[in-house]
A and B are shown apart, each in its own frame.
Chain A
Amino acid sequence: MNEKKNGNETREGVKKSGIPTGVIVTVFFLVTVTAMVIIFFNFLTSVEDPEQEKLYEKYYVMIAPEQESSFWNEVYESARKAGEEKNIYVEWLGKSMLRRYSREDQLRIAIAESVDGIIVSADESEEMKELISLATDKKIPVVTLVSDCPSSDRCSFVGINNYNIGREYGERIVKLAKTKKGAGETVKVAVLVDSYSEEAGQNILCIGIQETVENGVRLNDTDLRKVEVTLVPIDESNSFSTQEGVRELVFGDESLVPDIIVCLSETETTSAYQAVVDYNRVGVITVLGYHDSEAILNAIDRNVIEATISVDTDQLGSSCVGALAEFSELGHTSQYFTAESLMIDASNVSEYLKEAPNEG
C-alpha cells in the first residue's frame, strides 16, 4: 500500500504501474485463501457420504419366494411404502442376504432377529406351521401373503381369491376352445403348478378352472369338443428349473404339447412366452399368463400371450403392513384380506401399458 503513491506520483525515472501493489497483494491473498477454503470443503463434501440415516420405530420382514419377479417386487414396494408412512421399515429378507435360504430358514432367521412382524408367503407344511407358532410364542405377529397356512397361528391372511381367478381362466379357456379345434377334437390345456407347493391356493385355483371348463363346455358347446385340463408340475424350487420345465413342455413330445398353457406365476409366464417365440409356436399354443409386468403386457400387445391376470399388488403390500400394525396395536385384526384381480387381454392392454412404467 505504501507503494501506491510512490508508483503513481514519483515524477521521473520510475516505471509507473497501472495497479497499485497494495491492491494486488490483497487480491492475491484473498484469492489464495478463498481458493484453498473452497478446494478443501469441496474435497470434504465430495468424500462425505450424502446418504442420510433415518431411524424407524418398527421392523417388519417379508419372506417371498421369487426375488426376480416384478410381482413380488411390486408387492414389496407397496409394503415398504405403507411401512414408511407408519415409521416402519419393511425388509425383504431374502434380498439382503448373500446366501439363499429356504422360506423356513428365513422364518427362523427373522425369529432370531426378533423383528416386530413377519409377512410370509407360506404353505401348509407342518414345519411352516410350527415356525409360525414359534414366532407367535415370541410375540412376533405373522401375516401370510398370497399363499396361506390356515391351520397355523398367523394373525391374518392377505391373498387373492384364487377360485375366482380359476373361474376367469376357465371362462377364457372355454372361449378359446371354440377357435382352437373343430368339433369332436380334444383341446389340451396344461396348467403349470408348482410341484413342491403344499399350499392350497393353487389347488383351489385349479379346481376353479376345472369346474368352469366342465360347466362351460357342457352348457355352451353344442359341438361337444373335449377340453382336457392337465396339471403339469413344474419345479420352481430354483430359477432355472422353471424355464427348463416350460421348454420341455412346449418342445417335448408332440402328442403332449398343449393347445393352451395356463401359467400361475410371473416366471412361468415369461418362460412360456419365451419358449413359444423361440420354437415358433406363436398362434399354435395360446398362453394365459399371470401378473402384469411390462414384458407380459407387451407380449399381449403383440398377441403372443392371450391374456393375463392382474392382481392389485399395492393392495396386497399395504394390507400386510396394515394388518401387522393393527395387530400389534389392538391385539387382533381381520383374518382375511383379499386383493382384487382383473383379466387383461388385447382389448384393454393399452390402458395398462401406459400405467405399467409407473407401477414397475
Chain B
Amino acid sequence: MKVKAFLRKVSIKNKMIGISLLANIIILFVNIVLMFGINNLSDRMDMVYKDNLFLEELMDSISHVQNNMTEYLNTKNSDVLTEYYRSEQELRDLLVQLDDDISSLPFSRMERNIKRMCREYIDEVNLTIEYKRGRNVEKYRIRYENATRLYDYIESAIYSLNNEQFAENSGNYTKLLSAFRRFETISNLVLVLVIIGNIIVVTRLTLAVIRPLQNLTEKAGEVGRGNFEIPPLEVVNDDEVGVVTEAFNQMTVSIRDYIDKLRESSAAERRLRENELLMQAHLKEAQLKYLQAQINPHFLFNTLNAGAQLAMMEGADKTNGYIQHVANFFRYNVKKGSDIVTIREEIELIDNYIYILNVRFSGDIRYNKKLDESVLDTPMPSMILQPIVENCVNHGIREMLGDGCISLEVFRIDDIVCVSISDNGKGLSQDMIADILNGSLKHDPKSSGGGIALDNVIARLRLFTGESDPISITSEGEGKGTRFDIYLDV
C-alpha cells in the first residue's frame, strides 16, 4: 500500500489538481476516441465514391483517345495526332492504377479485364493510326472497326463496373451511415454516462479531501461553544488539514489543562479566604462573649489599678497583690485580644487566673506547672488556655473542696509542641468528649457564666493549625479527671 502512504503525503492543492486532471483526462480520452471514430467514418465516406471518380476519369481518357483517333482518320491532322499520342499516354498512365490480379473479388477481376481490354484497344488504335499513315485504306478500316468495337466493350465494361461499384458503395454508404448513426447515439450515451460518472467521482474525491476539514470545523464549533471534552481528532493525511488538525488537538489539550489549573488555584484561594473569614468570625464571637462578660475591661482595669494604689497607700499588701493580678488578667484581654500570642503569655494569664481563683476560693486549687522553656515562645491564638482551665475549674474540681488540682505541662515531641492541661475532677464520658470535639455539645449559658465555650476554642485552634485534630481530650472515666492536649507546630 505504498500508494496509500504516498497519497497521504500529497497536499490538498495537489489533490485538487489531481482530481480535476483525472476528470478532464477521462473526458479527453473519450472525446479523442469519439473524434477518431468520426474521422475514420468520414474518411471512409470519402473513399466510397473515389473509385467511381477514377472510373469516370478513365472513361474520359479512353473517349479522348477514341475521338482523337476518329478525328485523325477524318482529317489526318498532325496536331490531332500529337493530341492523340498525349491522350494515349495519359490512358496508359491511368491503366497502371488498375488491378491486374485474377481475384475472387469481382471488382478486382473486372478491373483486370478492363485493363487488358484497354491494352488491346490501344494496340488496335495504334495499328489503325499506322495503317492510316501508310494509306492502307482496307486495313485501317478493319482496324478501326475492331478498335471501335473494343471501345464499345470497354465502355460497357466500365459502365458495368461503375454500376456495380456504385451499387456496392451505396450499400456501404448506407451501412456506414447507419454505423455512423449508431456510433453517434452510443457516443452521446457514453459521454453522458462519463460525465455523470465524472461528477460522482469528483464529488467523492473532493468530499474525501474536504471531509477531515469538515470534521475539524465541526469540532472547532463545539470547542467554540465551550465543550472541551472531545476526543482527539484523527490525523488522516499529512496535508495542510492534517497539520491544522494536529495543532487543534494540541490546542484543546492545552486549554483543558489550563482550565484545570485555573480551577484548582481558585479553589485553593477560596478555601484560604474562607479560613480567614471563619477565624475572624470566631475571634469576633469570642471577643463579643468576653466583652459581654467583662463589660468594660478598660474601665475595670483602671478601676482595679486605682483600687491597688489605694490598697498600697493603706499598706494592705495582699489586697494590693490581688488587685494587681486581677488588673493584669483584664489587661491581657484588652491588650492581646485580637493577636497571636506566645505560649508564655498564655501561661501568664493562667497564672493570674488561678491566683484570682485561689483568692476567691481561699487556696482551694492546687496548680502545678512543668514547662519546657525552649518552646514557650511558640505562637498560638490568644484566649485558648484560659477557657480550658476555666472549664476544668467549673466542671472538674469546683466541688472537690480543696482537693482539686490542675497541672499544666508544655513539652516538645519532634516538631510538635504539646500544651497539656489536666485536672483530677470528675472526668468526662466518651460521648461527651466526642460531642465536645465535633462541637455539638449544648452547654447551658447560665451555668457557664458566659465564658468562652470550648467549641469556639477548638474551632479557632483548627483554623490556626490547619489540622482537623489540634486538640485531644482524654478521660480515664468517672472521677478520674480530664486531660486536654493541644498540639502546635514549632
Given A10-B234, A32-B29, A89-B109, are A21 and B208 also a contact pair (CB < 8 Å)?
Answer: yes
Comparing A107-115, A298-306, A323-331, A344-352, the segment that makes contact with chain B is A107-115
- Cα–Cα, bound, A13→B220 (Å): 13
Q: Is A2 an interface residue (CB 8 A)?
A: yes
Comparing B59-67, B151-159, B477-485, the segment that makes contact with chain A is B151-159
Q: Is B267 an interface residue (CB 8 A)?
A: no
| Contact yes or no, A7 B208, CB < 8 A | yes
List the count of A-B residue pairs having beta carbons below 8 Å apart.
Answer: 156
| Contact yes or no, A112 B10, CB < 8 A | no
Consensus secondary structure, chain B interface = helix
Q: Which residue among A5, A28, A35, A49 has the maximum number of chain B CB atoms within 10 Å of its CB?
A: A28
- Cα–Cα, bound, A290→B269 (Å): 136
Q: Is A24 an interface residue (CB 8 A)?
A: yes
Q: Which residue among B37, B41, B106, B175 has the maximum number of chain A CB atoms within 10 Å of its CB?
A: B37
Q: Is B101 an interface residue (CB 8 A)?
A: yes
- Cα–Cα, bound, A53→B102 (Å): 10
Q: Is A91 an interface residue (CB 8 A)?
A: yes
Q: Is A11 an interface residue (CB 8 A)?
A: yes
Q: Pick from A14, A54, A98: contact of B156, CB below 8 A.
A: A98
- Cα–Cα, bound, A1→B10 (Å): 12
Q: Pick from B183, B207, B208, B211: contact of A43, CB below 8 A.
A: B183
Comparing A56-64, A149-157, A226-234, the segment that makes contact with chain B is A56-64
Q: Nearest B residue to A116 by beta-carbon distance? A: B102
Q: Is A196 an interface residue (CB 8 A)?
A: no
Q: Is B4 an interface residue (CB 8 A)?
A: yes
| Contact yes or no, B215 A98, CB < 8 A | no
Given A29-B26, A32-B29, A98-B163, are A54 and B104 also a contact pair (CB < 8 Å)?
Answer: yes
Within 8 A of A (CB), among B1-58: 3-4, 7-8, 10, 15, 22, 26, 29-30, 33, 36-37, 40-41, 44
Q: Nearest A residue to B27 by beta-carbon distance? A: A32
Q: Nearest A residue to B30 by beta-carbon distance? A: A36
- Cα–Cα, bound, A2→B8 (Å): 6
Nearest-neighbour CB distance to chain B for A28, whole angstroms, equals 5
| Contact yes or no, A2 B208, CB < 8 A | yes
Q: Is A358 an interface residue (CB 8 A)?
A: no
Q: Is B253 an interface residue (CB 8 A)?
A: no
| Contact yes or no, B103 A108, CB < 8 A | no
Q: Pick from B4, B8, B30, B117: contact of A32, CB below 8 A.
A: B30
Q: Is B403 an interface residue (CB 8 A)?
A: no
Task: Report chain B residues within 8 Å CB of A17.
Answer: 204
Q: Is A47 an interface residue (CB 8 A)?
A: yes
Q: Pick from A1, A7, A40, A58: contact of B102, CB below 8 A.
A: A58
Q: Mark B220-262, 1 if CB is under 8 A from A, else 0.
A: 0000000000010010110000000000000000000000000
Interface size in chain A (residues, C-beta < 8 A)? 52
Comparing B193-201, B330-338, B360-368, B445-453, the segment that makes contact with chain A is B193-201
Q: Nearest A residue to B8 by beta-carbon distance? A: A2
Given A39-B186, A40-B36, A43-B37, are A112 and B116 also a contact pair (CB < 8 Å)?
Answer: yes
| Contact yes or no, A6 B33, CB < 8 A | no
| Contact yes or no, A89 B208, CB < 8 A | no
A-B contact pairs, 21 of them (CB 8 A): A2-B7, A2-B15, A3-B209, A10-B234, A21-B204, A21-B208, A24-B200, A24-B201, A28-B201, A32-B194, A40-B33, A43-B37, A44-B40, A53-B103, A55-B104, A58-B102, A59-B112, A89-B104, A96-B160, A98-B159, A113-B117
Q: Which residues of A contact B (CB under 8 A)?
A: 1-7, 9-11, 13-14, 17, 21, 24-25, 28-29, 32-33, 35-37, 39-40, 43-44, 46-47, 49, 51-59, 89, 91, 96-99, 101, 105, 108-109, 112-114
Q: Which residues of B contact A (CB under 8 A)?
A: 3-4, 7-8, 10, 15, 22, 26, 29-30, 33, 36-37, 40-41, 44, 101-106, 108-110, 112-113, 116-117, 120-121, 149-150, 153, 156-157, 159-160, 163, 172, 175-176, 179, 182-183, 186-187, 190, 194, 197, 200-201, 204-205, 207-209, 211-212, 214-215, 218-219, 231, 234, 236-237
